[in-house]
Amino acid sequence: MAHVFDFRIYYEDTDHSGLVYHANYLKYFERAREHVLGADELVRLYREDGLGFVVYKAELSFREGARFGDVLQVRTRVQLESEYRAIFHQAVWRPDGVKAMVEGQIQLVCVNRENRLVRLPAGVSGVADG
């Protein structure tokens, strides 16, 4: 089952082509990940434990461009690759769409205050599939 994050396309999201600027889909995926992981938990990890998530790799496929006024969803599934790396399978959908508009695979790792790689916190396994 995918986690669903609803969002809306505002003026700020579009460019002069009339469609959403391509880099913004990485923002929507990241907003959705914050909801999957829990913003409060992310704030706590950052302030108390000095831990932060870092994008290590990202792959994006663009099929259909979104427009001003669209109300859309990011659907997210989380896969643990190892104790250190999680892959977020994320896609932008129209709520009633038959195909994703944009698909992404976002690999995340976790680093401490010294920017050293550390094991993924327990919260990530909690949201991962299988």
Binding mask 51-90 for a copy of itself (x = CB under 8 A): -x-xxxxxxxxx--x-xxx---------------------
What region does 81 belong to: left with phi over 0, alpha with psi -120 to 50, or beta? alpha
Please report whether residue 50 would count as binding a copy of itself according to CB under 8 A.
no
Residue nearer to a copy of itself on the CB measure, 48 or 130: 48
Instruction: Give dist(CA 84, CA 92) in Å, integer.
Output: 26
In the set 6, 43, 97, 126, which binds a copy of itself (CB under 8 A)?
43
> Interaction with a copy of itself in 88-127: which residues (CB under 8 A)?
none
114 burial (CB, 10 Å; 0-12 / 13-18 / 19+) is exposed
Please report whether residue 10 would count as binding a copy of itself according to CB under 8 A.
yes
Report the residue count for the chain. 130
| HSE, side-chain direction, 13 A CA sphere, residue 45 | 20
Q: Is 13 a catalytic residue?
A: no
The least distance separating a copy of itself from the CB of residue 11, rounded to whole angstroms, comes to 5
Instruction: Give dist(CA 39, CA 53) in Å, integer.
Output: 12
Q: Tell me which residues touch a copy of itself (CB under 8 A).
A: 8, 10-12, 14-19, 21-24, 26-27, 30-31, 34, 39-40, 42-43, 46, 52, 54-62, 65, 67-69
